[in-house]
A and B are shown apart, each in its own frame.
Chain A
């Protein structure tokens, strides 16, 4: 089974990369982009298990390694 983890900087944490992307979009003529936040997606290929167990395990992975909860938030999707 697959799990997908979305890691984003928390609201309020400045994202200079996202901001640079926003400026570049403006330079290309894309008006009306009020903000850009850049994050990452981590795909995990997991041994088959029930979804609740997978959710709990991946949550632990996020807390211990995949996200730095001081500055980042995460969202988990189990397929």
Chain B
């Protein structure tokens, strides 16, 4: 599996993401935001967490208009796999590849702690490593994780089984306790929690590992 991790000014989870992908067996390429082309024969693009462009204007807004992001959008439109974690999720909603928007947490505070999630669907490359309805613990670290989408949009996500993860105990005010969503073709995923931060024993837990292992299996097996 060939994977790219996009690095924006202000990304700070890019190397953690690269380690998690490498440990799952991926051949990982770091790609700077001013590059215009992704590596050839790429399977997966990861947009990491952080504070791209200092969260100026809106979270993820400037990164979503970076040169490389246009190639990421083209990769997604060709049916390539793309996932964004935390700031990466914010970037993906700003590009329009995923519906909705991430607003300031309802409690206005930056939250950094482990949360419990429920795996809502295993029907995606990103969630196939888990069991349907499985409870997992994954860290969150965000100020703007309050997922906002109109009622009609939420219904569409539910009808199409596109909610990947929900919070057991909603930390940030997200509509429908939604923690992660999938695109219509199920190959683009955005989520606020950080699976790369709980992917090996030394992290204190491995609930994030099946995310990467499942993705690897799906892409290599395909």
Contact = CB atoms under 8 A, between A and B. Distances in A.
Nearest to A70: B101
B61 interface: yes
A71 B146 CA distance: 12
A13 B61 CA distance: 18
B58 A17 contact: no
Interface residues of A, number: 13
Given A13-B148, A14-B173, A68 B106 contact: no
Given A14-B173, A16-B173, A71 B148 contact: yes
B135 interface: no
Nearest to B94: A68
B56 to A, nearest CB: 11
Nearest to B172: A16
A9 B101 CA distance: 11
A13 B65 contact: no
Given A13-B148, A65-B61, A65-B65, A71 B103 contact: yes
B177 interface: no
A13 B150 CA distance: 9
B84 to A, nearest CB: 16
Contact of A20 (B94, B108, B148, B173): B108
Contact of B105 (A16, A65, A68): A16
B222 interface: no
A17 B108 CA distance: 7
Contacts of B173: 14, 16
Contact of A70 (B65, B93, B108): B93
A78 interface: no
Nearest to A42: B57
A9 B104 CA distance: 12
24 contacts: A9-B103, A12-B150, A13-B148, A14-B103, A14-B106, A14-B146, A14-B173, A16-B103, A16-B104, A16-B105, A16-B146, A16-B173, A17-B104, A65-B61, A66-B57, A68-B58, A68-B61, A68-B101, A70-B99, A70-B100, A70-B101, A70-B148, A71-B101, A71-B148
Interface of A: 9, 12-14, 16-17, 20, 64-66, 68, 70-71
| Top 4 A-B pairs, shortest CB-CB distance | A71-B101, A70-B101, A16-B106, A16-B108
